[in-house]
């Protein structure tokens, strides 16, 4: 016990006590500020960024206090720290890269919380960007489509230096999607194409106008062509059937719902066409049987 008191009375002990007190004060101030933030910032995304900013300021303040408190001791430890620095950097290279990724993510436009992204083969919505890992509410996998599967996946922030980052909701928060409808070749293909185009404009026509506004901004910011955003129908045929491709722009979170609406209206159009178009299939139709020899 005497040794402990003697250590606390020493310069190093006093420095450690001062650092601990400073860290407690910094943590308390950060806690109070984060409790006050929701009262003044109603937007959820802005609140999240404000809390992260307070955390970063707290870390910087703690490091600054540590450097000031141990300034005398650091001069004596400079040689030791220099030798150990290389070993620490090698041993914790993944941690250092993840922290560097954290700084890059908060200072660039890779993605933000709420975006839907594909990172290292994992697709989901970003729900948190931590110091070392990014948390995703995963979609797909054993669930068909783009709906949540209930699994939260954490990906190391260092991935931004190693693999492509696919952002489904960045500067252009829409996707091009399509469905294919096979129609028998003996049907009225002009009637079918007209009906399918009417269906697309009925469901996605107003949405395409909004997408045009975003795409115009894309052409001003990036070197991309003025792509076609309006819904359209493509057609090709072979000896079996005519394949109509219905292509349109859709909200990145509404692909499944939009397809359901389009398929429903397509089936209703086929049923109400009075035989002018019929859905084709790969089934064989036997029209006659060979005569059996007696």
| Residue 291 pLDDT | 62
Q: How would residue 193 be classed by pLDDT, with cut points 50, 70 and 90?
A: confident
Tokens matching residue 52: 């992260």
Which of 167, 188, 208 is the last residue in one of the domains?
Answer: 167
CATH of residue 144's domain is: 2.30.30.60
Looking at residue 11, its pLDDT comes to: 66
Q: What is the DSSP string of 205-250?
A: HHHHHHHHHHHHHHHHHSS------S-EEEEEE-SSEEEEEEEEEE
Q: Is 294 helix (H, G, I), strand (E, B) or coil?
A: coil
Query: Quick one: 126 and 201 in the same domain?
Result: no
The total number of structural domains in the chain stands at 3
Give pLDDT tens digits for 40-91.
777 666 677 677 777 778 888 887 877 777 666 555 555 555 555 555 555 5
Closest CA to 266 of 144, 176, 188, 180: 180
Give the angle subtended at the CA of 183 by the CAs of 182 and 188, to the nearest 5°: 150
Q: Domain of 184? A: 174-271
Mean pLDDT of 28-51: 76
| pLDDT on residue 283 | 60
Cβ atoms of 70 and 62 within 8 Å: the answer is no
Q: State pTM to two decimals.
A: 0.61
Q: Give the end of a domain, one of 167, 196, 220.
A: 167
Mean pLDDT of 89-107: 73
Q: Do 156 and 188 belong to one domain?
A: no
> Does pLDDT of 250 surpass 80?
yes
Residues 55 and 119 in one domain: no
Considering the domain boundaries, does residue 203 fall inside one?
yes
> What pLDDT, on the 0 to 100 scale, is given for residue 34?
80
Quote the pLDDT of residue 285.
56
Whole-angstrom distance, CA of residue 40 vs CA of residue 57:
19
Res. 165 pLDDT band, cuts 50 70 90:
confident
pLDDT in tens, 199-231: 888 888 778 877 877 787 777 777 777 777 888
Looking at the structure, do residues 29 and 84 belong to the same domain, yes or no? yes
Do 83 and 110 sit in the same domain of this protein? no
Question: Per the domain annotation, does 154 fall within a domain?
Answer: yes
Q: What is the pLDDT of residue 64?
A: 80
Residues 8 and 60 in one domain: yes
Pair (163, 179) in one structural domain: no
pLDDT of residue 28: 86
Q: Establish how many alpha carbons lie within 13 A of residue 79's alpha carbon, considering only the half-sphere containing its beta carbon.
A: 1
Boundary residue ending a domain (123, 142, 167): 167
Q: Write out 50-64 in H/E/C secondary structure.
A: HHHHHHHHHHHHHHH
10-14, 21-25, 246-250: least confidently modelled range: 10-14
Q: What is the mean pLDDT of the chain?
A: 77
> Do 11 and 84 fall within a single domain?
yes
Q: Is 37 helix (H, G, I), strand (E, B) or coil?
A: helix
User: Looking at the structure, do residues 22 and 86 belong to the same domain, yes or no?
Assistant: yes
State residue 274's pLDDT score. 84
pLDDT at 78 (0 to 100): 56
Distance between CA atoms of residues 11 and 157, nearest Å:
39
Identify the band that residue 135 occupies on the pLDDT scale cut at 50, 70 and 90.
Answer: confident
pLDDT band of residue 108 (cuts 50, 70, 90) is confident
203 and 242 inside one domain: yes
- pLDDT confidence of residue 70: 67
Q: Distance between CA 273 and CA 269 in Å, rounded?
A: 6
Give me the mean pLDDT over the 165-176 stretch: 79
Q: 156 Cβ partners below 8 Å, 6+ apart?
A: 94, 97, 98, 101, 132, 133, 134
Instruction: State whether 124 and 186 are in the same domain.
Output: no
* Residue 48 is assigned to a structural domain of this protein: yes
SS3 for 89-151, per residue?
HHHCHHHHHHHHHHHHHHHCCCCCCCCEEEECCEEEEEEEECCCEEEEEEECCCCCCCCEEEE
Based on the domain organization, do 77 and 152 belong to the same domain?
no
Judged against a pLDDT cut of 70, whether residue 144 lies above it is answered with yes
In angstroms and rounded to an integer, the radius of gyration of the C-alpha atoms of the chain is 31
Indicate if the pLDDT at residue 10 is higher than 80. no
């Amino acid at each position: 016990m005497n040794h402990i008191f003697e250590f606390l009375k020493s310069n190093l002990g006093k420095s450690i006590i001062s650092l601990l007190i400073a860290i407690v004060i910094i943590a308390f101030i950060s806690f109070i500020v984060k409790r006050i933030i929701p009262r003044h910032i109603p937007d959820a995304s802005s609140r999240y960024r404000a809390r992260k900013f307070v955390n970063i300021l707290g870390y910087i303040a703690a490091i600054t206090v540590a450097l000031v408190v141990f300034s005398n001791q650091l001069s004596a430890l400079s040689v030791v720290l220099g030798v150990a620095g290389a070993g620490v950097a090698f041993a914790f290279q993944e941690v250092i890269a993840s922290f560097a990724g954290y700084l890059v993510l908060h200072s660039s436009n890779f993605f933000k919380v709420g975006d839907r992204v594909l990172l290292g083969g994992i697709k989901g919505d970003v729900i948190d960007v931590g110091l070392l890992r990014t948390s995703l509410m995963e979609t797909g996998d054993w669930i068909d489509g783009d709906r949540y599967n209930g699994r939260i996946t954490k990906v190391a922030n260092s991935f931004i230096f190693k693999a492509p980052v696919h952002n489904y909701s960045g500067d252009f928060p829409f996707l091009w999607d399509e469905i294919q409808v096979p129609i028998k070749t003996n049907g009225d293909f002009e009637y079918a194409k007209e009906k399918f185009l009417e269906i697309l404009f009925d469901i996605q026509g107003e949405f395409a106008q909004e997408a045009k506004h975003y795409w115009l901004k894309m052409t001003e910011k990036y070197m991309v062509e003025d792509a076609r955003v309006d819904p359209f129908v493509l057609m090709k045929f072979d000896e079996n059937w005519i394949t109509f491709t219905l292509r349109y722009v859709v909200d990145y979170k509404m692909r499944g719902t939009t397809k359901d609406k389009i398929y429903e209206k397509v089936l209703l159009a086929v049923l109400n066409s009075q035989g002018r178009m019929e859905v084709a299939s790969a089934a064989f139709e036997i029209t006659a049987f060979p005569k059996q020899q007696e």
